[in-house]
Amino acid sequence: QQQVKQSPQSLIVQKGGISIINCAYENTAFDYFPWYQQFPGKGPALLIAIRPDVSEKKEGRFTISFNKSAKQFSLHIMDSQPGDSATYFCAASMTGGGADGLTFGKGTHLIIQP
């Protein structure tokens, strides 16, 4: 019930295209859903996050879409660029104001072809 399932495992997109990564969760107590970007040899870096009280959040070329009833959320990268090539992780946590750990998905290796 703690799992976050992420797909696809790998994704190749042409420069300028839209990259879409999907995640699904089971635990309805999760109420914070961040996406992290990780480059080789680096730690994950927070990209964008959403709470279940909104269905969409946009920051620049990055958009999270959230479907509470389906318990799914997705990351859309518009106008994908070669510099976006990285591994992307979705995650979820129960905030509750405490030091809750994040449950990560297995990651998506994204390659943007020039």
Using CB under 8 A, list all residues that contact another protein. Answer: 32, 34, 36, 41-46, 49, 89, 91, 93, 95-107
Cα–Cα dist 89/102, whole Å: 11
CB of 114 to another protein, least distance (A): 25
> By C-beta, is 102 or 111 nearer to another protein?
102
- Find the length of the chain: 114
Cα–Cα dist 11/57, whole Å: 22
CB of 19 to another protein, least distance (A): 19
CB of 53 to another protein, least distance (A): 14
Give the CA angle between residues 100, 62, 51 to the nearest 5°: 35
